[in-house]
Amino acid sequence: MSQSPPRRDETAGVDLAHLRERAATLARMQRFEEALAACQEIIAHRPADPEALNESGGLCMRLGRPHDAFTYYDRAVASAPEFAVLHINKGAALSALNRFPEALASFAAAANVEPCRAEAHYNAALVHLRHGDFAAGWPGHEWRWRKADWAGRRRNFTAPLWLGKQSIEGKTILLHAEQGFGDTIQFVRYAPLVARRGARVILECPPELAALLRSVEGVSQVIERGAALPFFDFHCPLMSLPLAFGTQLATIPASVPYLRPDQMLLSKWRARLPQTGRLRVGLCWTGSREHLNDHNRSIPLASFASLLALSGIDFVSVQKDVDPAQAEILQDYGVLSLGRELADFADTAAGLALLDLVVAVDTSVAHLAGAVGKVVALLLPFSPDWRWLLDRTDCVWYPTMRIFRQAALQDWSEPVERLRQELAEAAERRMARS
């Protein structure tokens, strides 16, 4: 749900409190259409109700309808321009529509109303990063630590934060993961650069990544999150390292592979994979259902039918969670399903390393495949995450990655068809060589 302005409840003969509670309950149950109907009933009685308009906008965003969300947010701002949160939410909807100059104007309006509102500065930073304006983006990205929903992520170490200014020659520094698996995989690339400054590097990460990240050059010790930490002189969150190194587009450390699979695991997975000589293509079509943007970035498996029907390709599913309907589709197309056998990211890295190509949506699997140097076909929604920039088919972070973008909201048919054509040509070339 959206952040909300303070409530102004005037019943006008209607039990608005009951309708608001109903909408909130339905939203918690993820019954978003019904929650939206309850909000619309409030709006029918109070067309300028900022809370109901704001909540309607948030529900439309969850339903993948940013055009409608913008309309509600715009009305909410007109009704109550004194609330910064309404400008922020309007800016988020505009960002989802790739209307970035207007989005920046909304975030600026929020900051004008409430200068220290972290979400206004942070969301503006994401727009700058999408455009490759790293000079404005990285400093603004630090506002994440002041956001209300990040309160539990900030670490209260006695050792000072390192952002590139102090000498760390001969010192010990703790680099710690702060966000998702994909973020950790993407930004651990900076650990060797930190080590080259003369520091001893300790890396704290989620347990699922620990075995794999021990292969990172320059890391002296990997500690699973939750375990006791040794002494260190400085610390830095992984996603603050681009700021510490003053990263620009031209200076992104993009040499791959920077993660290397274990040789014993390579032998294990080699025995499980098809040995037909045909093109081996990994497939990952959805991310974590807990991700707020998962409905936007994930693709129904049925949408890949035209790919799975291609001849000359051995498809391998590396999707961790597969429901019965998806399992039936995989079986119908003869896809080898390995996802549930992958114990952790070290297992997954070894499996990916033995494939010729990986087709993935914006998930940790895409980052992992890029980090081990695999050819990756990344399918992105119309308004993707900031790290993939805009209007590019290449990836500045992973040189072996090709990007297939939606040209229109919610329409995967065009990028999937382009990918199908390229896969068909690649399969034909492989068959011609065999």
Shared-domain flag, residues 34 and 91: yes
| 270 or 295: which leads in pLDDT | 270
Burial class (CB in 10 A: 0-12, 13-18, 19+), 249: exposed
Domain end, chosen from 251, 273, 291, is at 251
Work out the pLDDT band at 433, boundaries 50, 70, 90.
confident
Same domain, 182 and 286: no
For residue 189, what is the domain's CATH number?
3.40.50
Lookup result for tokens 């991700």 = 291
Is the pLDDT at 246 greater than 70, yes or no? Answer: yes
Same domain, residue pair 316 and 379: yes
CB burial of 225-240 (b: ≥16 within 10 Å; e: otherwise) equals eeeebeebbbbbbbbb
Among candidate residues 143, 129, 209, the one with its CA nearest the CA of residue 176: 209
How far apart (Å, rounded) are the C-alpha atoms in residues 49 and 82?
14
pLDDT (mean) for 411-427: 96
φ/ψ of 343, rounded to 5, equals -75, -40
Work out the burial of residue 302: count CB atoms within 10 Å of its CB; fewer than 13 is exposed, 13-18 middle, 19 or more buried: exposed
Average pLDDT for 287-292: 59
3-state secondary structure of 348: helix
* Residue 301 domain flag: yes
At 220-245, the pLDDT tens digits run 999 999 999 999 999 999 999 999 99
Strands (E), 322-415: 336-337, 357-361, 375-380, 401-405
CA distance 316 to 339: 9
Distance (Å, whole) CA 132 – CA 394: 14
- Tell me the two tokens of residue 350: 């070894």
Residues of the chain above pLDDT 70, percent: 95
Both 290 and 414 in a single domain? yes
> Is residue 179 located within the same domain as residue 226?
yes
Q: What is the pLDDT of residue 290?
A: 59
Q: Are residues 246 and 273 in the same domain?
A: no
Six-digit token pair at 27? 């939203």
For residues 93 and 60, give the distance between their C-alpha atoms in angstroms, rounded to a whole number: 10
Residues 236 and 302 reside in one and the same domain = no
Q: Which residues pair with 183 in a beta bridge?
A: none
Specify the amino acid at residue 156: N
Whether residue 67 is found in the same domain as residue 103 = yes
pLDDT for the residue 47: 95
- What's 133's domain CATH number? 1.25.40.10
> At 141, phi and psi to the nearest 5?
-65, -25
Question: 177 and 136 in one domain?
Answer: no
Average pLDDT over residues 103-110: 98
Q: Is the pLDDT of residue 82 over 70?
A: yes
Nearest 5°: phi and psi at 222? -110, 130
Q: Which domain holds residue 69?
A: 16-150
**In angstroms, how far is CA 125 from the centroid of its own chain?**
16
Long-range Cβ contacts of 41-45 (<8 Å, 24+ apart):
42/14, 42/16, 45/12, 45/14, 45/16
79 and 57 part of one domain: yes
- The mean pLDDT value of the chain amounts to 94
The pLDDT value recorded for residue 151 is: 80
What mean pLDDT is predicted for residues 1-22? 68
Q: What is the mean pLDDT of residues 176-199?
A: 97
Number of domains in the chain: 3
Beta strands across the sheet bearing 172-176: 219-224, 200-205, 172-176, 234-237
Residues in the chain: 434
Element (H, E) at 317: strand 313-317
Predicted pLDDT of residue 1: 44
Residue 46 is predicted with a pLDDT of: 94
- Answer yes or no: is pLDDT of 7 > 80: no
Residue 103 DSSP class: H
Residues ≥6 apart with Cβ < 8 Å to 304: 283, 285, 359, 416
Is residue 308 domain-shared with residue 412, that is, in the same domain?
Answer: yes
pLDDT at 431: 86
431 close to 276: Cβ distance less than 8 angstroms? no
Domain-ending residue, one of 251, 275, 299: 251
Angstrom distance (rounded) from CA 115 to CA 321: 43
Query: Which of 251, 284, 312 delimits the end of a domain?
Result: 251
**321, exposed or middle or buried, with CB in 10 Å at 0-12, 13-18, 19+?**
exposed
Residue 333, φ and ψ in degrees, nearest 5: -100, 5
Asked if residue 181 and residue 130 are part of one domain, the reply reads no
Per-residue pLDDT tens over the stretch 129-142: 999 999 999 999 99
Cα dihedral across residues 295, 299, 301, 305: positive or negative: positive
